[in-house]
C-alpha cells in the first residue's frame, strides 16, 4: 500500500485500480441528499498551497469533509517563505500540529518528496512544478475507464503545453500503465521530440494528423502566466494551429474531450467543443471528488474495515 501519493510514476497498477473501485462507491455517496460518510472522523488534513489554486484545493477540501475529516486550509505565500522560513521549517511546524495528511502544492518539482523527510503525515501531491499532479491523472484515467471500460490500445491524445505541464506528465505515466497508446501534440517547443523516445509515446506536431483515430483528447491549459508564453510566438498563432475547434473534429466526431481546467475558451479549446456532448469536463470535476475521497481513504482509512461495511453502516444509521 502506498504511504504517500507523490506521483503516478511509482504507483502500482493494482493500487490505482483499488482507488478506482472505492471511488465508484464514493460517487454514489455524492448523489445522496446527505453527503457524509464519517470514515475519517477525527483525522486532520491540512491543505498547504504555496501556489494559488481554487478548484483543486476546494476539491480536496470537500473530499476530506465528506469523509468526516477536519480539513484546514493554509495558503502560504511563496514570497514570505523567500523572506525567511525554509520549507523544511514550515513542514516541521505543520508537523507539530499533528496532521494525519498534508496536501501540498508547490511551484518546484519534487518538493512533496522532499517534505516527506520532515513530517510523519501522509503527503498528497496536489501539483509540484511541472512534475506531477497525480490526483488529476487518476481522475482523468477514472473518467476514461468509465467510458471505455478498458484503456488498452486506446489512443489518448494529450494536446498542448506538455513541456510545462504536470497534468501531462502524470497522465503519461499512468495511462501507459493501463496500456493506452499515449500521443502528444503541440508545437515542437512544447512537445519536444525527445519525449517520443524517452517516454515511449507518439509525438505529433500536426494537430489534424494527431486527432485522426484518437479515442480521447486531453486538452491542456495554455498557462499564460507561466513559461509557455516564452515558447510560443503568440496565443493567436497557437490558437490557429493547435486550438481545438469543431472544424478540427469533423473527421472524428466520436472523440471524447477532457480538460483539467480552468479553460481559456477560444484559445486552446473553442466553446463549441467544450460544451459539446462529447466533452467530459464537468464529469471530471465530480469524479475528482470521488477520486480524492478514495485517495484519503487509502492513505488514512482503517484498513481493518472494508469500505463497503462503512457505507452500509451509514446507510442503516440514516435509515435508507
Partner 1 sequence: MDKILFKNILVYFSDLSSKRINFYLDSSGNVNFLDSFDISDYKEVLDGEDLVVMPLLTDVHTHMRVPGQEEKEDITSGSKAAARGGIGQIFTMPNTKPVVDNAYLVDYLVSNIDKNSSMKIYPVGAVSKNQAGEELSPLLEMKRSGAIAFSDDGRPITTNILRKALIYAKTFDGVIIDHPEDPVLSDGGLIHEGRLSRAYGIKSIPYTSEEVCVARDVALARETRSRLHLAHLSTRHSLKYIEIAKEEDLNVTSEVTVNHLIFNCENISIFDTKFKVNPPFREEEDMYELFNALKKGIIDIICTDHAPHTLEEKELDYSQAPFGTPGLETVFAALYTNFVMSNKCALEDIIKWMVVNPSKVFSIPVLELQNNSKANFFIFKKNEEFLVKPEMFFSKCKLSPFLDKKLFGFPLATFYNGKMIYKDNNFLQTVKEI
Q: Is 32 one of the binding residues for partner 1 (CB under 8 A)? A: no
Q: Is 220 one of the binding residues for partner 1 (CB under 8 A)? A: no
Q: Is 110 one of the binding residues for partner 1 (CB under 8 A)? A: yes
Q: How far is the CB of 130 from partner 1 (least distance, A)?
A: 3
Q: Is 131 one of the binding residues for partner 1 (CB under 8 A)? A: yes
Angle, CA of 172, 151 and 273, to the nearest 5°: 75
Find out whether 301 and 39 touch, Cβ atoms under 8 Å: yes
Q: Is 287 one of the binding residues for partner 1 (CB under 8 A)? A: no
Residue 115 CA, chain-centre distance (Å), reads 20
Which residue blocks in the chain are alpha helix, DSSP H? 13-30, 55-66, 78-83, 87-95, 111-115, 134-148, 166-177, 194-199, 207-211, 228-231, 235-242, 271-274, 281-300, 307-317
Please tell me the count of residues contacting partner 1 according to CB under 8 A.
Answer: 22
Phi and psi at residue 74, to the nearest 5° = -120, 130
Q: Is 129 one of the binding residues for partner 1 (CB under 8 A)? A: yes
Q: Is 198 one of the binding residues for partner 1 (CB under 8 A)? A: yes
Cell numbers given for 106: 508547490
Q: Is 4 one of the binding residues for partner 1 (CB under 8 A)? A: no
Of 76, 87, 141, 217, which lies in the binding site for partner 1, with binding defined by CB under 8 A?
87
Q: Is 195 one of the binding residues for partner 1 (CB under 8 A)? A: yes
Find out whether 297 and 67 touch, Cβ atoms under 8 Å: yes
Stretch that binds partner 1, among 21-29, 108-116, 266-274, 298-306 (CB under 8 A): 108-116
Nearest to 156 by CA among 190, 195, 202, 187: 202
Q: Is 86 one of the binding residues for partner 1 (CB under 8 A)? A: yes
Residue 4 vs 169, nearer CB to partner 1? 169
| Residue 214, Cβ density class (10 Å: 0-12 exposed, 13-18 middle, ≥19 buried) | buried
Residue 41 CA, chain-centre distance (Å), reads 25
Find out whether 310 and 37 touch, Cβ atoms under 8 Å: yes
- How do beta strands 44-49 and 101-106 pair? parallel
Residue 199 vs 204, nearer CB to partner 1? 199
**CA gap 98, 119 in Å, rounded:** 9
Angle, CA of 192, 198 and 200, to the nearest 5°: 100
Stretch that binds partner 1, among 12-20, 159-167, 273-281, 304-312 (CB under 8 A): 159-167
Of 56, 119, 164, 284, which lies in the binding site for partner 1, with binding defined by CB under 8 A?
164
Q: Is 108 one of the binding residues for partner 1 (CB under 8 A)? A: yes
Mask: binding to partner 1, 247-286, rule CB under 8 A, as x and -?
----------------------------------------
Of 124, 163, 214, 279, which lies in the binding site for partner 1, with binding defined by CB under 8 A?
163
Stretch that binds partner 1, among 28-36, 81-89, 268-276, 309-317 (CB under 8 A): 81-89
Binding site for partner 1 (CB under 8 A): 86-88, 108-111, 113-114, 129-131, 163-166, 169, 192, 194-195, 198-199
Amino acid at each position: 500500500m502506498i504511504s504517500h501519493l507523490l506521483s503516478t510514476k511509482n504507483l502500482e497498477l493494482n493500487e490505482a485500480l483499488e482507488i478506482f473501485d472505492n471511488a465508484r462507491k464514493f460517487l454514489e455517496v455524492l448523489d445522496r441528499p446527505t453527503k457524509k460518510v464519517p470514515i475519517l472522523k477525527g483525522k486532520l488534513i491540512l491543505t498547504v498551497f504555496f501556489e494559488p489554486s481554487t478548484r483543486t484545493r476546494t476539491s480536496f477540501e470537500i473530499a476530506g469533509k465528506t469523509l468526516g475529516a477536519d480539513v484546514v486550509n493554509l495558503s502560504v505565500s511563496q514570497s514570505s517563505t523567500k523572506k525567511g522560513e525554509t520549507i523544511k521549517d514550515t513542514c516541521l511546524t505543520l508537523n507539530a500540529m499533528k496532521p494525519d495528511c498534508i496536501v501540498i502544492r508547490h511551484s518546484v518539482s519534487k518538493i512533496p518528496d522532499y517534505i516527506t523527510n520532515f513530517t510523519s503525515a501522509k503527503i498528497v501531491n496536489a501539483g509540484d512544478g511541472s512534475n506531477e499532479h497525480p490526483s488529476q491523472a487518476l481522475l482523468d484515467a477514472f473518467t476514461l475507464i468509465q467510458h471505455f471500460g478498458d484503456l488498452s490500445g486506446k489512443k489518448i491524445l494529450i494536446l498542448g503545453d506538455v513541456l510545462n505541464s504536470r497534468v501531462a506528465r502524470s497522465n503519461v505515466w499512468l495511462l501507459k500503465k493501463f496500456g493506452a497508446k499515449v500521443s502528444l501534440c503541440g508545437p515542437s517547443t512544447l512537445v519536444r521530440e525527445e519525449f517520443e523516445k524517452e517516454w515511449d509515446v507518439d509525438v505529433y506536431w500536426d494537430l489534424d494528423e494527431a486527432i485522426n483515430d484518437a479515442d480521447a483528447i486531453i486538452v491542456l491549459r495554455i498557462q499564460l502566466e507561466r513559461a509557455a508564453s516564452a515558447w510560443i510566438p503568440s496565443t493567436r498563432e497557437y490558437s490557429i494551429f493547435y486550438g481545438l475547434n469543431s472544424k478540427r473534429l469533423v473527421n472524428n466526431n466520436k472523440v471524447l474531450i477532457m480538460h483539467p481546467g480552468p479553460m481559456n475558451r477560444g484559445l486552446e479549446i473553442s466553446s463549441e467543443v467544450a460544451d459539446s456532448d462529447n466533452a467530459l469536463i464537468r464529469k471530471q470535476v465530480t469524479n475528482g471528488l470521488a477520486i480524492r475521497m478514495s485517495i484519503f481513504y487509502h492513505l488514512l482509512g482503517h484498513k481493518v474495515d472494508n469500505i463497503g461495511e462503512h457505507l452500509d453502516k451509514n446507510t442503516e444509521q440514516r435509515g435508507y
